[in-house]
Chains A and B, each alone.
Chain A
Amino acid sequence: MKLGALAAVMSLALVACGTTNNNTGNTQAPPPTANMKPLDKVGPGEGQLNLIAWEGYVDDSWAKPFTTQTGCVINAKYAGYSDEMVSLMKSGGGGQYDMVSASGDADLRLIYSGDVRPMNEKLIPDFNTFQTYFKNPPYNTISGVHYGISLQWGPNTLLYSTTKFPNKPTSWNVIYDPANRGLITVPDNPIQIADAALYLSKTQPSLGIKDPYELTKPQFDAAVKLLTDQRPLIKKYWALASDEISLFQNGDVVVGAAWPYQTIQLKAAGAKVDDTIPTEGATGWGDTWMLATKAPHPNCAYLWTQYVSTAKVQAEQALFFGETPVNTQACAQMEALQAGSCAQYHANAPGSYFDSIHFWKTPIPTCADGSQNCIPYDKWVSAWTTIKG
């Protein structure tokens, strides 16, 4: 055992000398699993279901009834970051887990590395009543093939202390403003570069940023510069939602980028905070249940996807976490559980609303125009490491 560990460490040295696998080739090529035939009908459950999920996504209140109904016993592993989800999906060479509730910034990574496989949307009855945008969002659907079924979404909002800002801030410039030095927090996530790019797309139109996830070298450099200049103003790059809650509750920061979840928790604890989507618009996340290529329990996985897509479970999860269901039928259920929540969470938003939210997707070298000039995600990660320092 010990020798095994040592041998493994020695092998690290060899791996470290290997060349970086260049992904800059033709990413127009279909993902490795594109031709895998999805199930065409759901068989009886296998009795087990291994999930990688965000904390709170497999709560007992709806997971228990599922196990009773289907006999699929759920083993959930909670991940803290998208990067952790990706590495967990690869752990043990894949084949450990059936599904992952990945966010848009991880999806294309999982798809193009062949860790997830196409799913058959026809096996999910509620798919028909999904918001149109979430049937084929660019982060989980490629050339009409669904690599997973959309679940919930939410915007990345601007959270602020109402004592410090009696007037609602209207621009993201408050988190880049030296006047708030030492009182700002933003997420510790490379995808934060897209937030900077979105801000620049409005404040510096000459850069020509159209999609904050498809940045050419000059656009990318401008976003990185904005964040590098922001770095001395930051109190903390928050990694866990509870970190940010604690930062606001204990007076360490007064403004930051957040999820609606933090606002709800803070307000419930009586903190004087509020959130808003500034005029520049916002980035957002869309979560997807994705099926592992080597999933050992595919039938339970489909049963689970069917179950969490139903209006009732969608509404329960939305209110538990403070996010928005993709199933439009969930609106009534949300109202029944908590009056006014449907409109509050934009669960009934018209299609045009989604133009103002730029959903996370993994940056890849291929730009929308088919050129290979866009900066891929691994460059985002190393730039983010450099920004944080």
Chain B
Amino acid sequence: MWNTENFQRLIEEPAYRSIIGRTVFMAVLVTVTDAVLAFPFAYFMARVASRRVQTLLFAAVLLPLWASYLARVYAWILILNHNGLLNWSLQSIGLPPAEIGYTNVAMWIVFSYIWLPFMIIPTYAALERVPESLLEAAADLGARRWRAVRDVVLPLALPGVVAGSIFTFSLTLGDYITPILVGGAGSSFIGNVIYSNVGIANNIPFAAALAIVPVAIMAVYLLIAQRLGAFEAL
């Protein structure tokens, strides 16, 4: 027998709506954050740093990928908790403590941290390919530096940023471990619900219905990314 009961349940129950909403919102937020963090860094690597510094920075971005994801998330708990490194530092300079351990803010920081290299690398690659001659031409035509960046560099780097966003977006969308470790009350993700439903024999269809949600979102996202030429910049 076929029906759409499981999909209806997803749409009608507010709890599932809010979990889906939270997951997608976090994925967007992390993607935007990483793009903002990565762009000036990648620009520095590609356009300002000497060749030697460039190599070192590149290695520095790659190296964290070798430190276990789990160990890095765990280190963040040590930073963000009540008596953690962050509050200790804040108090030692006379500021009030930030109670962000085990909240959605903590998840936002940790996700942005974990996926940042995946945004820096393609952005850097795209920026590196912007021909110097284009910037010179812009300067010759009297464009100020910021205008040259806005009108010449940004459009050329956009496919790189979009390529990076595919990773930050999809990796956040599918994660269920970071919410378990650093989230607080009210931080379930789609992945957590899928995971707990797989363990229940007669709820596999519902888990599958849930799994369709991130897949559908990613398919739409990829189609848009392809339009923006991101695949050429992957």
A and B touch in the complex (CB under 8 A): yes
Among B49-57, B128-136, B205-213, which stretch is in contact with chain A?
B205-213
Contact string, A346-389, partner B, CB cutoff 8 A, digits 1/0?
Answer: 00000000000000000000000000000001100100111011
Assess whether B205 is in contact with A84, with CB atoms less than 8 Å apart: no
Assess whether B202 is in contact with A237, with CB atoms less than 8 Å apart: no
Residues of A within 8 A of B208 (CB): 12-13, 15-16, 18
Q: Given known contacts A83-B198, A389-B19, is B185 in contact with A16 (CB within 8 Å)?
A: no
Residues of A within 8 A of B183 (CB): 236
Residues of A within 8 A of B13 (CB): 386
Assess whether A381 is in contact with B186, with CB atoms less than 8 Å apart: no
> Which of A17, A231, A235 gathers most chain B CB within 10 Å?
A17
Assess whether A86 is in contact with B202, with CB atoms less than 8 Å apart: no
CB distance from B36 to the nearest CB of A (A): 29
Residues of B within 8 A of A21 (CB): 201-202, 205
Among B76-84, B118-126, B140-148, which stretch is in contact with chain A?
B76-84
Assess whether B201 is in contact with A86, with CB atoms less than 8 Å apart: yes
Q: Which residue from chain B places its CB closest to the CB of A9 in the assembled complex?
A: B215
Q: Which residue from chain A places its CB closest to the CB of B203 in the assembled complex?
A: A378
A247 to B197, CA, bound (A): 27
Which of A16, A81, A90, A385 contacts B6 (CB under 8 A)? Answer: A16
Assess whether B102 is in contact with A236, with CB atoms less than 8 Å apart: yes
Contact string, A55-88, partner B, CB cutoff 8 A, digits 1/0?
Answer: 0000000000000000000000000011111110
Q: Given known contacts A20-B203, A381-B197, is B81 in contact with A252 (CB within 8 Å)?
A: yes
A384 to B195, CA, bound (A): 14
Assess whether B184 is in contact with A236, with CB atoms less than 8 Å apart: yes
Q: Which residue from chain A places its CB closest to the CB of B204 in the assembled complex?
A: A15
Q: Given known contacts A21-B201, A388-B188, is B193 in contact with A252 (CB within 8 Å)?
A: no
**Cβ of A163 under 8 Å from chain B:** no
Kindly identify, within residues 77 to 111 of chain A, every residue whose CB is under 8 Å from any CB belonging to chain B: 81-87, 90, 109
CB distance from B177 to the nearest CB of A (A): 10
Assess whether B77 is in contact with A246, with CB atoms less than 8 Å apart: yes
* A side interface size, CB within 8 A: 46
Main secondary structure on chain B at its contact with chain A? helix
Kindly identify, within residues 20 to 73 of chain A, every residue whose CB is under 8 Å from any CB belonging to chain B: 20-23
Q: Given known contacts A231-B185, A236-B184, A239-B180, is B200 in contact with A18 (CB within 8 Å)?
A: no
**Cβ of A251 under 8 Å from chain B:** yes
Which of A109, A246, A388 contacts B185 (CB under 8 A)? Answer: A388
A228 to B181, CA, bound (A): 22
Kindly identify, within residues 8 to 57 of chain B, every residue whose CB is under 8 Å from any CB belonging to chain A: 13, 15-16, 18-19
A105 to B204, CA, bound (A): 19
Residues of A within 8 A of B185 (CB): 231-232, 234-237, 388-389
**Cβ of B199 under 8 Å from chain A:** yes
A13 to B215, CA, bound (A): 10
Assess whether A17 is in contact with B200, with CB atoms less than 8 Å apart: no
Assess whether A83 is in contact with B212, with CB atoms less than 8 Å apart: no
Which of B18, B186, B199, B212 contacts A81 (CB under 8 A)? Answer: B199
**Cβ of A344 under 8 Å from chain B:** no
A240 to B77, CA, bound (A): 13
Residues of B within 8 A of A246 (CB): 77, 81
**Cβ of B5 under 8 Å from chain A:** yes
Assess whether A17 is in contact with B2, with CB atoms less than 8 Å apart: yes
**Cβ of B221 under 8 Å from chain A:** no
**Cβ of B68 under 8 Å from chain A:** no
Residues of A within 8 A of B215 (CB): 9, 12
Which of B3, B18, B83, B202 contacts A22 (CB under 8 A)? Answer: B202
Q: Please report A residues at the B interface, Cβ cutoff 8 Å.
A: 9, 12-13, 15-23, 81-87, 90, 109, 113, 188, 190, 231-232, 234-237, 239-240, 243, 246-247, 250-252, 377-378, 381, 384-386, 388-389
Q: 10 A-B residue contacts at CB 8 Å?
A: A19-B1, A81-B196, A84-B195, A90-B201, A109-B201, A231-B185, A236-B102, A250-B101, A378-B202, A385-B19
The 4 lowest CB-CB distance pairs between A and B, nearest first, are: A83-B199, A16-B209, A16-B208, A21-B202
Given contacts A16-B7, A252-B102, A385-B16, 16 further A-B contacts (CB under 8 A): A9-B215, A17-B7, A18-B1, A19-B1, A23-B201, A23-B202, A81-B196, A83-B199, A236-B185, A247-B102, A251-B82, A381-B196, A381-B203, A386-B15, A389-B15, A389-B186
